Structure 1
Amino acid sequence: MSGHGERLDHFMARANAAYYAGRDPFADFITSPEISQVFGELLGAWVAVVWDQLGRPDPFMLVEAGPGRGTLMADAQRLVRRVAPACHRAMRVHLIETSPRLRAVQARALHDATAEPVCWHDGLDGVPDGPMVLLANEFLDALPIRQFVRRGQGWAERFVRDGAFVQVPARFPAHHPARARPVPEGEVLETCQPALDFVHAVATRLLRCSGAAVLIDYGYDAPAAGDSLQALRDGQAADPLHDPGMADLTAHVDFHAIADHVPAGVRIWGSVTQGSFLGGLGLAARTEQLARAAPAQARDIRAAAMRLAAPGHMGQLFRVMGLSSGLAGGLPGFAGPRGE
């Protein structure tokens, strides 16, 4: 930490590491898999179709980044085991999770769910080579961001000191995809190098081994600027700079910058809204199937699906981007590849 304080991304990384190590994040927020089992089931079906389009490799690596309580993977496994048993037998499940406490929760959720034992890794580089299908739901939004403020023809960077922002003269990263964006005086431009690095690593691996990935997060897909840092504590909005480690810090995902950072040769799909993506995978039909099977819970089942897909809820706020290499045909849930 310098005399200016702590750079925002260093502050955010330290705060979130403490938060996930010591608190139950699901007391503060709820994710799509926790809202409805249909979310994980649809992604399970997506995995099975993608596996078929890849030529049914056996084995293949099914990777989830930031698996939370393991709910998404458990729901996906249940669906795949029922409708595509050969895919279920071929998959090797690898979870990218650094929290020992969450690893234990995931192990309980996935006990006996997978054909082979689950493996955990601190990062993608620990996953063995081979064809890969990767899921990342609300993973990128928790990666630490930097914030730059336009000052004339130059920039200042936000640091944190004594629970408040201070601005320090700085250079904007030379090779960042957002560097050329027009930003009004005094406005904030955010960067998230860890998100760019992660997606670049995923794409590079897809080029080497073939496969597909789906990235689901709240964010935007336009050359935008603005301060999106936020904190949730006990289910309520909180000051992100106070009590580090006691709240979940997130920022909107810049899908436009991510697309610009994917290496040539990997096809990019979307981003599209979560409502569009889930609708394309059959959300309505699966919801009605569950509602008919459980009439007493039908209203709750339909309400949960509405929350996932409706424009006023997560359906518009969340976006979905796909990556693929070596895939026969289009990526399920998307109308077509970006820029083609």
Structure 2
Amino acid sequence: MLQLYKGTTRLYSRVLSRQFSNTCLLLNEKKEDINKSNYGQFTKQEFENARTIIKEQIARLESEIKGESNIRSKLGSMPQFPSPSKSTARKVDTLTDLFAQTIQLTGPIPLSAYMRQCLTHSEMGYYTTRDPLDLRGGDFITSPEISSVFGEMLGVWYFTVWQSQGSPGKIRFVEFGPGRGTLMYDTLRTFNRFIAKASTPVDIEITMIEASDVLRREQWKLLCDEKHEFETTTEGFNKSTTQWGNAIKWVYTEKDIVDDEATANYIIAHEFFDALPIKSFTKTEAGWRELMVEHTPTVTNTQPKLATTEPVEKNDLFETEFHLTVSQKETPSSMIPALSPRYRDLAQGSRIEICPDAELFLMKMIQLLKPKLGAVMIMDYGVVDSIPENSLRGIYKHKFVSPFIKPGEVDLSADVDFDNLVNISKQASQGKIINYGPVDQGDWLHNIGVGYRIDQLIKQNESNPDVQDKIYGAYRRLTDKDQMGGVYKFLTLMPEGSEKPIGF
């Protein structure tokens, strides 16, 4: 027990030291921002308020970790955690085992930590171990999989942007979370066809940001042909050549992108932000408290709020050992809503969802834009003119289920906070990045000309009514307000001085 205590205190000391160091670094960065006036709306008073709150929080954490008595005096009387088992130790074969043992040892864990492990655990994560879009065993279907027209419209859009920016001779398409590669396939096929007609030489490079080896292989099969091998570089990345002759490279994270000033980056993020881990908070009488994941067998979870054809009480996939619980004390993340003016006036009892990772990824996308060159297209479902409250959902075999059932086997997602993305882009770029949208997917597709393309396809299949019905059904699904056309939004970010793009 003494050795356990020493190991635990050393762990807590390292955690506290890292927390304090990171906080000081953050404060110093913010102070530098003030001195350099990088963010016009960040005042010295706001800095001082933030520093006060952070110092108070660190003092409380220090006090809680150190305690008020000598813990050694209780050796022998306090139970060890976890209690030693007389049988052989439990093996961690699933994420359920991992979470159950972790929570038993440390207490409830942050929702963001739970989601991150469920989705990207190297051996048991949802996206790293399977093809979620597989036609037979997949759990959901996306717009590009419904109709190739979706990707065609994006290809048309990028071609018009390329022309409006002076037809740069070197461009790179970068896709964050490319799925099976269907959207990139349809976009490239259309873009390359227009480039060939324009007779303007252009060097096109493709970068796929994909952590899943399973999906990388699927993307390669679709985008390339057999004569172009799936190679591994000395850096550990993968590369090949598309069937249109474009160089293509796979990297694990956005940090692996090697950029240069001569390249115009055209960035695609379709259903990417909705899969990022979120944190959930509720405003109590004592202030903001984080919602944590607890382990309690046979708890009926009512987290999902989206409509489902099956009553919750009759669906076994809503019966789960894990559920959300409100932290009794402040957590380090509690400062996120506490410091933001956006949440300051929310009433007690309010609940919000915040995605810290969204800012990191959006900042990288913005950094890839050059003066008057490049564009970011974000396509996702989410909310506008409001704050996500309770949108976390699980999707399993094309049905909504509890996000806490079958960890690692269920897709998890939450509504994208489009207002936050717009605010981040404005603050980070000091007005040098212009946003257009968000607009409804159906409106964007119609503005691009999807109606003309659908009419063309229907006329080409006059002899086959079944095919015509499928084409029209896919069109309605993509554009109707009560289907994907109203739920999904399009938001684009472009450098200052670019022409207003079509579709918005």
Post-superposition Cα deviations, 1:229-270, rounded to whole Å, max 9, x if no partner, equal: 000011111110122101000000000011111122100111
Structure 1 residue runs without a partner (length 5+): 335-340
Contact 2:180/2:219 (<8 A) preserved: yes
Scaled by the length of structure 1, the TM-score of the pair is: 0.93
Give how far 1:87 is off.
6.9
**Does residue 265 of structure 2 align to residue 102 of structure 1?**
no
Mapped to 2, the partners of 1:332 and 1:233 lie a distance apart of: 36
The farther-off stretch of 33-42 and 156-165 is 156-165
In structure 2, the residue matched to 1:79 is 190
Mapped to 1, the partners of 2:147 and 2:343 lie a distance apart of: 41
In structure 2, the residue matched to 1:276 is 443
Q: Which letter maps to 1:29?
A: F
Scaled by the length of structure 2, the TM-score of the pair is: 0.63
The farther-off stretch of 80-89 and 258-267 is 80-89
**Does residue 132 of structure 2 align to residue 132 of structure 1?**
no
Contact 1:53/1:327 (<8 A) preserved: no
> Identity of counterpart residues, as a percentage?
31
Q: Classify 1:174/1:23 alpha carbon distance in 2 versus 1 (closer, same or farther; 3 Å).
A: same
In structure 1, the residue matched to 2:404 is 241
Contact 1:23/1:246 (<8 A) preserved: no
When you count strand as a share of all residues, which structure comes out higher?
1
Mapped to 1, the partners of 2:356 and 2:200 lie a distance apart of: 34
Mapped to 2, the partners of 1:327 and 1:56 lie a distance apart of: 15
Q: Classify 1:245/1:37 alpha carbon distance in 2 versus 1 (closer, same or farther; 3 Å).
A: same
**Does residue 225 of structure 2 align to residue 122 of structure 1?**
no
Post-superposition Cα deviations, 1:253-309, rounded to whole Å, max 9, x if no partner, equal: 000011111122100111111111111111101111111112321111111011111
Give how far 1:57 is off.
1.2
The farther-off stretch of 61-70 and 29-38 is 61-70
Mapped to 1, the partners of 2:210 and 2:149 lie a distance apart of: 23
In structure 2, the residue matched to 1:223 is 386
Q: Classify 1:315/1:104 alpha carbon distance in 2 versus 1 (closer, same or farther; 3 Å).
A: same
The farther-off stretch of 299-308 and 178-187 is 178-187
In structure 2, the residue matched to 1:59 is 170
In structure 2, the residue matched to 1:157 is 290
SS of 1:102 mapped into structure 2:
helix
- Tell me which of 470, 474, 481 is aligned to 1:311: 481
- Tell me which of 329, 335, 341 is aligned to 1:172: 335
Q: How well do the aligned residues superpose, as a CA RMSD in angstroms?
A: 2.0
- Tell me which of 200, 206, 215 is aligned to 1:93: 206
Contact 2:173/2:267 (<8 A) preserved: yes
Q: Classify 1:25/1:179 alpha carbon distance in 2 versus 1 (closer, same or farther; 3 Å).
A: same
**Does residue 305 of structure 2 align to residue 146 of structure 1?**
no
Q: Which letter maps to 2:118?
A: A
Larger Rg: 1 or 2? 2
**Does residue 135 of structure 2 align to residue 6 of structure 1?**
no
Contact 1:139/1:217 (<8 A) preserved: yes
Mapped to 2, the partners of 1:58 and 1:144 lie a distance apart of: 37
SS of 1:108 mapped into structure 2:
helix
Question: How many pairs were matched up?
Answer: 334
In structure 1, the residue matched to 2:154 is 43
Q: Classify 1:211/1:172 alpha carbon distance in 2 versus 1 (closer, same or farther; 3 Å).
A: same
In structure 1, the residue matched to 2:314 is none
In structure 2, the residue matched to 1:337 is none
Q: Classify 1:209/1:243 alpha carbon distance in 2 versus 1 (closer, same or farther; 3 Å).
A: farther
Q: Classify 1:68/1:119 alpha carbon distance in 2 versus 1 (closer, same or farther; 3 Å).
A: same
Report which structure shows greater RCO (CA 8 Å, sep ≥6): 1
SS of 2:266 mapped into structure 1:
strand
Mapped to 2, the partners of 1:74 and 1:327 lie a distance apart of: 30
